[in-house]
Amino acid sequence: MIALGENRYGKSRVRVMKVERDGERHTVHEWNVEVWLKGDFASCFEDGDNSRILPTDTMKNTVYYLARGSKAPDAEGFATELVTYLLENNPQVEEAGATIAATPWAHIHAGGTVHGTAFVQEGGGIATATVTYPRERKATVTSGFRGLAILKTAKSGFAGYIKDKLTTLKETNDRLLGTLASGEWEYAESVDYSAARARIMDALLNAFARHDSLSVQQTLYAMGKAALEAEPKIFEIRLSMPNKHCNLVDLTPLGADNPNHIFVPTDEPHGSIEACVRRAG
């Protein structure tokens, strides 16, 4: 016997640019929204019966409609509004969810002036927010980031590892440590999401900068520990830090020395380090 398994459907890559206008000072939100629904949709999959299906085009329009009237200050708040609306207005739906990737824009500071209606895209990676709302249960809010490029040129080494006949990597106590990091954490309760994110990101970056790294793994753990200490409303944080190598160039054949000045950056192949850091108990 053949049966339909777990399923969901929705709309992805719904692009929204929202401008909040307050006199001569505007605020910009750029969101890339994915929204999905779960429920008893077997009749659609198996028989082509669409009577329980909200069109994905309607879901797209719902994003734009709610964005127009939303007062949410952050992606977490808007995602919560979106999934709540879909759940309340579609009794056939058992769970609604949304993920938002937010592109950061900041006011331009130039010529000694803050320009209230001109913006520059910040380089701190993409902020993410996911809200999942099962019917008859509490919504869960997960925040995170991806594509955070960070690099340190001191306080990083790698030595004492296993060596066998295939090992060519040389030990070092002075290397470049670079990564394109991503992370995610779930809140235990509702908070000021923007303020909480700021505390967490500050703790992560401060730990990365200050840590005397013996490995990417050790630095990842130190960063996760710092984030948990900075924000009591999260119980764990999941981090991914692919090791973006910078290989020292041998300038000896060219008659020059190279005391850790000239490198070749490369990201293929790269180490892949991931871990969850959580509170004990």
Q: What is the DSSP string of 173-186?
A: SS--EEEEEEEEEE
Does 222 score more than 80 pLDDT? yes
Contacts of 271 (CB under 8 A, 6+ apart): 216, 242, 243, 245
Tell me: the pLDDT tens digits for 126-135? 999 999 999 9
Judge whether 96 and 83 are in contact, CB under 8 Å: yes
Span 129-145, average pLDDT: 96
Tokens (6 digits) for 122: 């910040």
- The predicted structure's pLDDT at residue 123: 77
1-31, pLDDT tens digit by residue?
Answer: 999 999 999 999 999 999 999 999 999 999 9
- At 45 the pLDDT is 94
Q: Which residue is listed with tokens 């753990």?
A: 221
**Pairing assessment for the beta strands 113-121 and 243-248 based on DSSP bridges:** unpaired
Structure pTM? 0.90
Sequence ranges of the chain with CATH classification 3.10.270.10? 9-138, 147-278
What average pLDDT does the segment 143-170 reach? 95
Q: Any residues with CB less than 8 A from the CB of 257 and at least 6 apart, and which?
A: 251
Least confident of 81-95, 162-176, 225-239: 162-176
- The predicted pLDDT at position 118 comes to 97
Instruction: Indicate the burial class of 131 (C-beta count within 10 angstroms; 0-12, 13-18, 19 or more).
Output: buried
Mean pLDDT of 87-101: 97
CATH of 147-278, one of 3.40.50.620, 3.10.270.10, 3.40.50.450, 3.40.50.1000: 3.10.270.10
* 56-64: average pLDDT: 97
**Maximum distance among all Cα pairs of the chain, rounded to whole angstroms:** 76
Q: Which residues are catalytic?
A: 11, 56, 245
| 182-197 pLDDT, tens digit each | 999 999 999 999 999 9
Distance between CA 234 and CA 231 in Å, rounded? 6
Residue 124 is predicted with a pLDDT of 78
* Cα(11)–Cα(15) distance, integer angstroms: 11
Band (pLDDT 50/70/90 cuts) for residue 122 is confident
CA distances from 184 to 130, 141, 234, 239, 275 (A): 10, 11, 10, 7, 11
In CATH, the number for domain 9-138 is 3.10.270.10
Place of tokens 């670079």: 178
* 63-88 mean pLDDT: 96
Whether the pLDDT of residue 235 is over 80: the answer is yes
Q: What percent of the chain has pLDDT over 90?
A: 90
What mean pLDDT is predicted for residues 216-231?
97
Of all residues in the chain, what percent carry a pLDDT higher than 70? Answer: 100
Q: What is the mean pLDDT of the chain?
A: 95
Distance (Å, whole) CA 226 – CA 202: 9
